[in-house]
Amino acid sequence: MDYPGNLFVVAAPSGAGKSSLVKALMELDSHIQPSVSHTTRAPRGQEKHGREYFFVSAPEFDAMVKANAFVEWAHVHGHRYGTSKKAIEERIAQGGDVVLEIDYQGALQIKKVFTNAISIFILPPSWEELRSRLERRGEDSPEVIELRLKNAAIELAQAHLFDFVIINELFERAIFDLKAIVHAQRLKYAAQRRARADTFKALNIP
Ligand code: 5GP
């Protein structure tokens, strides 16, 4: 599918810093908006329905799957998560940019449907650092941390299928890298031609 807007898909094992990076990107760039996913997990802390996620029941999720409302959905850490068509299509069809922060299975599905989507994998600098970030976060029990590390090994084995890789060693450097990917995408011939149609016309180039 071809749309004027850009679709960025960011995946990473938990603890690699994906959410903080995507949040910082959106604060710096108002043209890029998140897609709000649906999930069957319960809200945590200050999370609000319609902001972080649309929190739905298992039957509601089933009904959406049946109605073909999702571009992709996956089981992640014991819950179901899905990206609705509605969450992205309208915006990119109007030329807006959308960023998806989803797991690697979903990211690879998105690439099949939206062949122009740009996939980005965030790597931690080392296993030791990933483990210590998960421990410092203080959200998970030691058993859950072990499970997340085991899952991370599976996830990292898929990194070669992504278009770009960012190593999140130094946050400032990683956000610079993410901005560079977004910026380069907007400088592609087709994107510039759309954004600066008048200039192209005045220069008499196709
Ligand atoms: P959390 O419950 O911690 O917010 O997210 C757990 C995992 O689910 C994260 O890796 C997150 O990126 C992923 N996730 C969130 N939304 C979606 C979605 O719509 N589709 C898929 N495949 N994964 C998602």
Q: Running along the chain, 206 residues long, what does each successive block of 10 average in pLDDT?
A: 88 94 96 95 93 96 97 92 93 93 95 94 97 91 92 96 97 98 94 90 96
Long-range pairs for 155-159: beta carbons < 8 A, 24 or more residues apart: 155/11, 155/12, 155/13, 155/103, 155/104, 156/13, 156/123, 158/104, 158/108, 158/121, 159/121, 159/123
Nearest to 36 by CA among 109, 90, 108, 104: 90
Q: Indicate whether residue 112 lines ligand 1 (CB < 6 A).
A: no
Structural domain contains residue 124? yes
Structural domain contains residue 142? yes
Burial degree of 55 (CB within 10 A; 0-12, 13-18, 19+): middle
Asked if 148 and 15 touch (Cβ cutoff 8 Å), the reply is yes
Model pLDDT, residue 78 = 86
Largest CA-CA distance found in the chain, in angstroms, rounded:
64
Q: What is the pLDDT of residues 56-89, one digit of tens each?
A: 999 999 999 999 999 999 998 889 999 999 989 9
Supply the CATH number for residue 133's domain. 3.40.50.300
Report the alpha-carbon distance of residue 70 to residue 48 in Å, rounded: 21
- Count the domains in the chain: 1
Q: Which atom of ligand 1 is nearest to the CA of 106?
A: 22
Q: What is the pLDDT of residues 81-112, one digit of tens each?
A: 999 999 899 999 998 999 999 999 999 999 99
Structural domain contains residue 76? no
User: Residue written as tokens 């008048």?
Assistant: 198
Of 102, 119, 121, 139, the residue with max ligand 1 atoms within 8 A of its CB, to mutate for a pocket test, comes to 102
Of 81, 156, 158, the residue with max ligand 1 atoms within 8 A of its CB, to mutate for a pocket test, comes to 81
Print the domain residue range for 197.
7-35+96-202
